[in-house]
Amino acid sequence: MAEHELSRKRQVLFIYSISCLIGIAMVFVAKALLLMIQLCTNLFYFQEFSFHERSPAEHSLGWISVIIPVIGGLIVGAMARWGSKAIRGHGIPEAMENILERDSRIPRRITLLKPLSSAVAIGSGGPFGAEGPIIATGGALGSWIGQILPVTAYERKILLASGAAAGMAAIFGTPLSAVMIAIELLLFEFRAKSFVPVVLATVIAATLRGVFIGTESFFQMPALGETSPTQLLVFLAFGVVMGLLCIFVTKSIYWIEDAFEKIPIHWMWWPALGGIAVGLIGLVEPRSLGVGYGNISMSLSGSLTVGAAVSILVWKFLSWAIALGSGTSGGTLAPLLTLGSAFGFIVGSGLTLAFPEWGIDPHAMALVGMAALFAGSSRALLTSVIFALEGTKQPLGLVPLLGCCSIAYVVSTLLMKNSIMTEKIVRRGLQVPHEYYPIPRKSEKS
């Protein structure tokens, strides 16, 4: 018995050690992904072999730029057909599916193909962020390691979650929200045995990020003030609006995806068709192209007009919905943050003009809108709140964030059965855990 207990403790320490190594590795993987995106952007839009950070919106190609997202779509479609079909899609739902159905076994080639395909998709103008791809890549790396080491399926799930969370922390520098997204969307449980390795990997990744990537806040905005009772009521009412917007966004994404399913050509061509829309929209609103983290910062800082915010909101949504529905390799977090922050800034600016006595801060409304759209769409409530706080370093935003995100979450769950993360895998017949609850004693079971 004592020997068995000693063996168990050794295995626990072994898993902890491997998680730490995964955390170190994911910093370099995240850095490589960012460099690949920058390289692809420079190659596609500026015909330069350079890793200099530039936005596709800065290009001067004119009408010829329409074909760039099409070329990117052709490359991604070919990689998906002859490499792995698993690179298609959001990233997080695919990781969830592997956890629930395949004992956390992700094909090893995804570790290379997912970041490469995402870099091509984003670098050619795809309106996505790096977070979905890095979570999928980190999960694939953790799963790969878990397949070559003597670990159980449960321990492999922990390593998968460790890689995914470490990747997110390395990109954004938000360790606590990275841990929470692993708990809420990947682990499906809250136990020290499972989340301590995730914490260790994430802490290491966040620390090394300061050395190899940067230490500044990911999003910049003015300091927020205290929330008054009147302002809190406005934020709570805004949560209802955001919950309805979550439903609209999620339903639209899957309606477009269903429309692509009806097109009578092989799915490998769909990303190129989506690329046509991305390219044409990019002519109208160049800021819809690429990652677009700058759009979020502009909404949070108020350094854009309401008209510009409306343009980004409309065209970014259309570009993202069509591109993601086409089955290319992309994510959901950055577009949701972009749409939510722009919508919040628009509403906040309008309320400031109409009811100046309320003292509504458009910057705070942008922050709350950003988090609430993510909370209601993904059902990762605590992750969204913590991410907004860590990403902006605005502690006074906690009260409005908790209030608005909670209301958006409630409205979304009452009116929509599945989230933007789970709809796809539920359609395939999988049951996704939504709540954590204690297991009753045998005598209490009916």
Over 97-122, what HEC string results? HHHHHCCCCCCCCHHHHHHHHHHHHH
Lowest-confidence pick of 110-124, 209-223, 246-260, 292-306? 209-223
What's the pLDDT score for residue 232? Answer: 94
Tell me the C-alpha to C-alpha distance, in Å, between residue 394 and each of 224, 362, 398: 7, 14, 8
C-alpha 335, offset from chain centre? 8
- The 3-class secondary structure across 131-146, one letter per residue, is HHHHHHHHHHHHHHHH
pLDDT at 445 over 50: no
Cα–Cα distance measured from residue 275 to residue 329, given in angstroms and rounded to the nearest whole number: 12
What's the pLDDT score for residue 432? Answer: 66
What's the pLDDT score for residue 290? Answer: 86
What's the pLDDT score for residue 444? Answer: 43
| Proportion of the chain above pLDDT 90, given as a percent | 52
Is residue 181 within 8 A of residue 380, CB to CB? The reply is yes
Lowest-confidence pick of 1-5, 17-21, 32-36, 307-311? 1-5
Structure tokens at 402: 């908790």
Secondary structure of residue 317 in the 3-state scheme:
helix
Secondary structure of residue 432 in the 3-state scheme:
coil
What's the pLDDT score for residue 134? Answer: 85
Q: What is the pLDDT of residues 384-417, one digit of tens each?
A: 999 999 988 888 999 999 999 999 999 999 999 8
Q: What is the pLDDT confidence band of residue 333, given thresholds at 50, 70 and 90? A: confident
pLDDT at 241 over 70: yes
Lowest-confidence pick of 104-113, 167-176, 240-249, 298-307? 104-113
pLDDT at 378 over 80: yes
pLDDT at 433 over 70: no
Is residue 341 within 8 A of residue 299, CB to CB? The reply is yes
pLDDT at 64 over 70: yes
Cα–Cα distance measured from residue 377 to residue 357, given in angstroms and rounded to the nearest whole number: 32
- Give the sign of the dihedral formed by CA 215, CA 220, CA 225, CA 226: negative
pLDDT at 443 over 50: no
Secondary structure of residue 89 in the 3-state scheme:
strand
Residue 345's contacts (CB-CB under 8 Å, 6 or more residues apart) are 299, 300, 302, 304, 306, 309, 362, 363, 365, 366, 369
Secondary structure of residue 15 in the 3-state scheme:
helix
Q: What is the pLDDT confidence band of residue 368, given thresholds at 50, 70 and 90? A: very high
Secondary structure of residue 331 in the 3-state scheme:
coil
Q: Write down the pTM of the prediction.
A: 0.89
Angle 369-372-375 from CA coordinates, rounded to 5°:
155
**In the chain, what is the greatest distance between 2 CA atoms, to the nearest angstrom?**
73
Average pLDDT, the chain: 87
Residue 446's contacts (CB-CB under 8 Å, 6 or more residues apart) are none
Tell me the C-alpha to C-alpha distance, in Å, between residue 443 and each of 19, 122, 440, 446: 38, 55, 8, 8
Residue 239 is which amino acid? G
Cα–Cα distance measured from residue 371 to residue 299, given in angstroms and rounded to the nearest whole number: 13
Cα–Cα distance measured from residue 315 to residue 324, given in angstroms and rounded to the nearest whole number: 14
Within 355-393, residue ranges assigned H as helices are: 362-378, 381-392
Q: What count of residues does the chain have?
A: 446
What's the pLDDT score for residue 446? Answer: 38
Q: What is the pLDDT of residues 407-416, one digit of tens each?
A: 999 999 999 9
What's the pLDDT score for residue 187? Answer: 83
pLDDT at 84 over 50: yes
| Proportion of the chain above pLDDT 70, given as a percent | 93
| C-alpha closest to that of 129 among 316, 326, 257 | 316
| Backbone phi and psi for residue 329, each to the nearest 5 degrees, phi listed first | -95, 110
What's the pLDDT score for residue 420? Answer: 84
Q: What is the mean pLDDT of residues 23-35?
A: 92
What's the pLDDT score for residue 60? Answer: 86
Q: What is the pLDDT confidence band of residue 91, given thresholds at 50, 70 and 90? A: low
Between 270-284 and 306-325, two packed helices, what is the crossing angle to 10 degrees? 170
Lowest-confidence pick of 15-29, 250-264, 320-334? 320-334
pLDDT at 94 over 80: no
Cα–Cα distance measured from residue 37 to residue 137, given in angstroms and rounded to the nearest whole number: 14
Cα–Cα distance measured from residue 118 to residue 84, given in angstroms and rounded to the nearest whole number: 13
Residue 270, H or E segment: helix 270-284
Of the two residues 190 and 338, the one the predictor is more confident about is 338
Q: What is the pLDDT confidence band of residue 435, given thresholds at 50, 70 and 90? A: low
Residue 109's contacts (CB-CB under 8 Å, 6 or more residues apart) are 83, 84
Q: What is the mean pLDDT of residues 85-99?
A: 72
Domains assigned to the chain: 7-212 (1.10.3080.10), 229-427 (1.10.3080.10)
- Which residue's structure tokens are 């003292």? 359
pLDDT at 440 over 80: no
What's the pLDDT score for residue 217? Answer: 65
Q: Which residues pair with 89 in a beta bridge?
A: 329
